Chain A
């Protein structure tokens, strides 16, 4: 069975602090896909990144970076120099082979205070 664990329910930081959101996953598939989505207070769900199981390269996009480690089954997300606009719920998700069935973590609510 597949599982995604986001152990941090809520995180509160002050603007300009760095923050890392943890994601640990379980799957028996050899090919799988990992995602991060953002849900701001307005409620929509916004795609941030996808990683394939065969591509362990870390990625940086502006203030966002992702660290994928198959050895520890983790796909962590770091926001550097956080801003108030980063306040949102962040979801980590896992899709197995074929990309159909998708399991989401419970989400981490990030509060960034000015």
Chain B
């Protein structure tokens, strides 16, 4: 089954404690992205990756890091989380093939930083 998986699905942490949210896709997609969803703001792109070892900033990259060492994985790293990073996070993947840029989303990770 084609899918994007994220772990963990729920996470409560404290300010300053480094965390990683993993994302993996099994569709051999070149493109992957991270978004955060906040009430009234829709989804905002944090980082995206065009392929292995190629990443770039989205609209709200501050406080986040990413890496793309393998095509299927695109982890999101919060080195020193702060309460304003409390949000719902989605990973997505897409390709430039026949279904160009249609994004497949993971189930979401609800992060609370206290």
Binding site for B on A (CB under 8 A): 4, 6, 9, 33, 35, 37, 43-45, 47, 50, 52, 91, 93, 95, 98-107
Contact = CB atoms under 8 A, between A and B. Distances in A.
Given A45-B90, A99-B94, A99-B96, A104 B104 contact: no
A33 to B, nearest CB: 5
A35 B42 contact: no
Given A50-B100, A100-B48, A44 B94 contact: no
B101 A43 contact: no
Contacts of B100: 33, 50, 52, 99
A13 to B, nearest CB: 21
B44 interface: yes
A103 B72 CA distance: 23
A15 B55 CA distance: 45
Contact of A43 (B43, B92, B107): B107
Interface string B34-58: 0100001111110010100000101
B104 A47 contact: yes
In terms of DSSP, what is the predominant structure of the interface of chain B? strand
A100 to B, nearest CB: 5
B59 interface: yes
A50 B42 contact: no
B45 A102 contact: yes
B108 interface: yes
Given A99-B100, A104-B43, A44 B31 contact: no
Contact of B42 (A52, A99, A101, A104): A104
